[in-house]
Amino acid sequence: MNGVIPLHKEIGLTSSDCVYKLRKILHTKKVGHTGTLDPLVDGVLPICVGQSTKLVNRLTGSPKEYEGEITLGMSTTTEDREGDVVEEVKLNQPFEIPKLEETFKSMIGDLTQIPPMYSAVKVNGKKLYEYARAGLKVERPERKIHLYDFYLMGDPVFDSTSGKQTVRFHVRCSKGTYVRTLAVEFGSILGVPSYMSKLTRTQSAGFDLKDTFTLSDIESMIESNEYGFFKSIDDVLVDLPVHELTDEEWEINVQHGGFLEFSQYDTNKNLRVTKNNITKAIYKYDPKDSMWKPETMLLNNE
């Protein structure tokens, strides 16, 4: 059983919960997710099964897209709606759309983030949320991220009674981005407290929200002996250039992790090598030796 499941993770579940449940549903232990989603976040969570677990790092490293909501006028300990209120300010009037759009645009590009205390980033072997729950403060490591796109969706909503303004957004960002922290930084630029009040991941590892299946979908399909929720390794790697191996290349080189020599392929890209049109390995060009060397072996992919 090899392939990737474009799972629609539902609110209330951790990414690890999804892996645990799928191991039971699929009756296999070799299952891994491709990037943590907080319990309060729903959306696309690609799950690797069997041989495709070797692709977890590759898929985790791809850019991701989200749609969400920022609430202006209040901040929380967790930077989302789960936390306790830290600061609250009643807005006398809403921010106008041009000002909001200008703020979104100003954040596109390279940014430096400090992960929130309520996160799974490890410092000295302990997760930050463990320090936070114990009431301890610790220096948090900075991380470099990149926003490819960040923009306003629809019209903002202002509640004159509470003095809060909610703003919907779309963001395409690099691996390791904390969208919760983006929401806080957005408010900081405007000079008001803020937090992320909603978030859905809409794209990850080439899968869109419309491509996904819930856990209950998968259970029902298996009961009907349907496995259309599986995407093959070949489907996942379809963007890579491909070389169909000769019998000699397969038997003498690739099966034994050997090098390959080609001149017709772009050396700046990885190369997918196949046998009978089934991916068996991913090769990477080594300019030092002018040879293609195995990066990921998928010999048991069927």
Structure confidence at residue 117 (pLDDT): 63
Could you tell me the two tokens for 50? 């069997």
CA geometry: angle 130, 135, 141, nearest 5 deg:
60
Q: Which residues of 226-245 are buried (b: 16+ CB within 10 A; e: fewer)?
A: eeebbbbbbebbeebeebeb
Q: Which of 16-25, 40-49, 130-139 has the lowest mean pLDDT?
A: 130-139
Tokens 């029902």 identify what position? 220
**What's the average model confidence in pLDDT over 49-76?**
94
Q: What's phi and psi for 252, nearest 5 deg? A: -95, -40
Has residue 261 got a pLDDT over 80? Answer: yes
For the chain, the domain total comes to 3
- pLDDT, one tens digit per residue, over 186-211 is 999 999 999 999 999 999 998 999 99
Could you tell me the two tokens for 228? 């259309």
Looking at the whole model, is its pTM more than 0.85? yes
Let me know whether 50 and 141 are in one domain: no
**What's the average model confidence in pLDDT over 37-47?**
94
Structure confidence at residue 134 (pLDDT): 77
Question: Which structural domain range is residue 145 located in?
Answer: 64-202
More confident residue, 105 or 62: 105
Let me know whether 171 and 260 are in one domain: no
Kindly state whether residue 302 falls inside one of the protein's structural domains: no
Let me know whether 72 and 186 are in one domain: yes
Kindly state whether residue 19 falls inside one of the protein's structural domains: yes
> Could you give the percent of the chain with pLDDT greater than 90?
79
Let me know whether 252 and 292 are in one domain: yes
**What's the average model confidence in pLDDT over 98-102?**
98
Structure confidence at residue 138 (pLDDT): 78
Has residue 256 got a pLDDT over 80? Answer: yes
The H or E element spanning position 43 is: strand 42-49
In the residue annotation, 38 being an active-site residue is answered as yes
Let me know whether 189 and 69 are in one domain: yes
Q: What is the CATH number of the domain that holds 152?
A: 3.30.2350.10
More confident residue, 238 or 7: 7
Residue type, 192: V
Let me know whether 88 and 24 are in one domain: no
Let me know whether 109 and 14 are in one domain: no
Let me know whether 211 and 196 are in one domain: no
Contact 87, 74 (CB under 8 A): yes
Pick the catalytic residue: 17, 38, 80, 286? 38
Determine how many CB atoms are found less than 10 A away from the CB of residue 201.
23
More confident residue, 113 or 215: 215
Let me know whether 76 and 178 are in one domain: yes
Residue ending a domain, choose from 202, 221, 249? 202
Going by pLDDT thresholds of 50, 70 and 90, the confidence category of residue 136 is confident
Structure confidence at residue 119 (pLDDT): 67
Structure confidence at residue 72 (pLDDT): 98
Average pLDDT, the chain: 92
Let me know whether 70 and 195 are in one domain: yes
Let me know whether 75 and 153 are in one domain: yes
Let me know whether 69 and 157 are in one domain: yes
